[in-house]
Amino acid sequence: TDHLNEIKIGHFPKKELARTILFFQMNKLKFLTWNIESQGVSFQAGGLSLPEKHEAVIEVIKEHEPDFDELFLTSSEYIKICSATSHAGRMCMYAKPNIQVAIVSYDSQLPIVSVDITTANKKIRFSSAHLCPGKDGAYTRECQLNQITLDDTPHVLMGDLNVREAENDYITEMGWTDATDRMDYTWNSLVNLYHRDGYKFRCRFDRILYHGLPAPTYSIIGNEPLDGNVNCYLSDHFGLNAVFTI
């Protein structure tokens, strides 16, 4: 790892329900987004305690981004550079003090945070969002996404967008490309029985959208139960790890 070329940005809604990381190394942009239900454990967790769950989450993330633990365990090394309000509370974006980013302003009511990063004389815009929930929230989500103007600037948008497959057309019409496969569900309560009384279904709530960049490589994280407990998952959502070449 070239620590001289390191950028990390975190996304923390209220009660640390979700985390998004941006890591820059040479000509690669690495993003990790995972909506972590961090105030409890799966009702099938057995004797797993909340601190043990948090440690397990750290270990999963380290497998994909070894430096993530610096943010998770020593967040004092980061400064908050912008925030927004979502239905789950405040969203905040953090960056290392020595990283220069330009904040992109949106209406204060939008659950979207964005920054511009300039590297190798090229500007990249990174956004994270936690959009309106519920099946009946499709129109609101479309309106929220419409506030992001796409231009010649390469742009990555990741997070719990709460979108359904029926909304794919308007996402494409806006100019976004969806990197994730239609079978890569980040919510799958058919196998992940995290909530005792939860409705059983599967959906791609969490997405990797991009514009003006080559397609990334990506993987799903957190989609395997803990060793020794076939029913114990670390969150009700699975996460996404993406690597972009710039």
* 51 neighbors 84 (Cβ within 8 angstroms): no
pLDDT in tens, 193-224: 888 888 899 999 999 999 999 999 999 999 99
- The better pLDDT of the pair 49, 198 is held by 49
Burial of 199 (0-12, 13-18, 19+ CB in 10 A): exposed
Place of tokens 């009511």: 109
Strand ranges in 197-238 using DSSP code E only, listed in sequence order: 202-203, 206-211, 217-221
The answer on pLDDT for 4 being more than 60 is no
The answer on pLDDT for 96 being more than 80 is no
Distance from C-alpha of 103 to C-alpha of 115, rounded to nearest angstrom = 5
pLDDT value of position 86:
84
pLDDT in tens, 133-189: 999 999 999 999 999 989 999 999 998 999 999 999 999 999 999 999 999 999 999
Q: Give bridge partners of residue 123 from the DSSP assignment.
A: 118
Distance from C-alpha of 143 to C-alpha of 110, rounded to nearest angstrom = 10
pLDDT value of position 23:
52
pLDDT value of position 223:
93
* 9 neighbors 75 (Cβ within 8 angstroms): no
Long-range CB contacts (< 8 A, 24+ apart) of 69-78?
70/8, 71/8, 71/10, 71/19, 71/21, 72/19, 75/10, 78/8, 78/10
Provide the b/e sequence for 104-119 (b: ≥16 CB within 10 Å): bebeeebbbbbbebee
pLDDT in tens, 18-40: 555 555 555 777 787 888 876 78
The answer on pLDDT for 69 being more than 60 is no
Burial of 31 (0-12, 13-18, 19+ CB in 10 A): buried
pLDDT in tens, 224-240: 988 767 788 999 999 99
Distance from C-alpha of 39 to C-alpha of 15, rounded to nearest angstrom = 7
The answer on pLDDT for 10 being more than 60 is no
